[in-house]
Amino acid sequence: MEESFGHEAKVLLDRTEAVHIIACGTSYHAGLVAKYWLEEIGLQCSVEVASEYRYRRVVVPKNTLFITVSQSGETADTLAALRGAKDAGYLGSLCVCNVPESSLVRESDVALMTRAGPEIGVASTKAFTTQLVAFRLLTLAFARRRGMTQEREKELVDELHALPRQVEVVLKLSDAIREMANGFAKKENALFLGRGTFYPIALEGALKLKEISYIHAEAYPAGELKHGPLALVDAEMPVVCALPDDALLEKVLSNLQEVRARGGELFLFSDRTVSIGLDHYQNLTLDDIFPTTAPIVYSIPLQLLSYHVAVLKGTDVDQPRNLAKSVTVE
């Protein structure tokens, strides 16, 4: 990626000491995942929805890069935030965008194109996964500047190259996910849980479900379960959770135990190496997953789950009621 960046972009990245990421909808969730990745390499990062950011006073630390994320590059609030940021003391602006001729690309100092191809369905899917890939690349570019060894860089790049293979495997789960969706179609509510980068993935999973199947879905950081949402859990509450084999696994499993103790129905996606050890659940396993790219891979079964639920319910998957692909007015 570095090679495709011009001189201006390289200078911006060289000087960046913090980033502010601004976006709406699904693009905002991509920004939330990026925060975990960027802070992991020591870069301070805040993420905010554009409609909030644009109407409040913002303190801009020295050498902060302003990053917008948008599939369309025409979202009114995101564009307004960029315009408002021009005189706010930022180092410069970078957009992660899917439409080369968009206003956002034209008005940003630097553009990182996601190249997902035209996205037709209102609910963003491939734009989201490519935004995450763009943020992995950006994280690598910053990590290089923070002394990442060439060996480590090669490993991380190889993990990105494994994505097409991993996604193929997930797509083959589609029939099994359709079976899982049967347990959902008659529900009125659903709860998505996750920790770490999997909290924003849970947010995105819940957003997809409400957008296209009209089931009320909420996402919570699993550690917040006891601070409210547990009160909602009974046998009528499906709880969806991705279980990558990471450092937070045991914590999430103990949260899921709490759900089971209240009769909540578990719909899980896990790494094959994970031993779940709960009394009752539905689970589909994924193989060959790397921690750095796991959120990208796991977002796809969640998208498929919403897709199959929507098809079962007979809603219009591509054009959900009341929603627009691009929100160009406030």
Return residues touching ligand G6P (CB under 6 A).
24-27, 70-72, 75, 78, 122-124, 323, 325-327
| CB 166, min distance to ligand G6P, A | 23
Task: Return the number of the residue (127 or 143) whose C-beta is nearest ligand G6P.
Answer: 127
Residue closest to ligand G6P, measured at CB: 25
Phi first, then psi, for residue 142 (nearest 5°) are -70, -40
Look up residue 63 and give its DSSP letter.
T
Closer CB to ligand G6P, 105 or 110, in the complex? 105
Pick the closer one to ligand G6P by CB: 70 or 108: 70
CB of 21 to ligand G6P, least distance (A): 12
Q: Which of 171, 167, 72 is nearest to 118 (CA)?
A: 72
Whole-angstrom CA distances from 70 to 1, 107, 208 are 19, 13, 17
Find the angle CA(68)-CA(166)-CA(126) to the nearest 5 degrees: 35
**Cα–Cα dist 230/273, whole Å:** 28
Q: Which residue, among 199, 134, 195, 197, has the nearest Cα to 160 in the 3D structure?
A: 134
CB of 213 to ligand G6P, least distance (A): 15
Do the beta carbons of residue 189 and residue 232 sit within 8 Å? Answer: yes
Q: Which two structure tokens, joined as six digits, stand for 28?
A: 């905002």
**DSSP one-letter string for 10-48:** HHHHHH-SEEEEEE-HHHHHHHHHHHHHHHHTT-EEEEE
CB-wise, 108 or 255, nearer to ligand G6P? 108
Give the C-alpha separation, 199 to 225, whole Å.
12
94 forms beta bridges with 67, 110
Nearer to ligand G6P, 20 or 195 (CB): 20
Q: Which residues contact 106 (CB under 8 A, 6 or more apart)?
A: none
> Which of residues 170 and 207 has its CB atom nearest to ligand G6P in the complex?
207
At closest approach, how far in Å is the CB of 261 from ligand G6P? 35
**In the complex, minimum distance from the CB of residue 183 to ligand G6P, in angstroms, rounded to a whole number:** 26
Question: Minimum distance from CB of 29 to ligand G6P (Å)?
Answer: 8
Q: Which residues pair with 233 in a beta bridge?
A: none
CB of residue 27 vs ligand G6P: minimum separation in angstroms?
4
Q: How far is the CB of 71 from ligand G6P (least distance, A)?
A: 4
Nearer to ligand G6P, 110 or 233 (CB): 110
Q: Which is nearer to ligand G6P, 195 or 208 (CB)?
A: 208
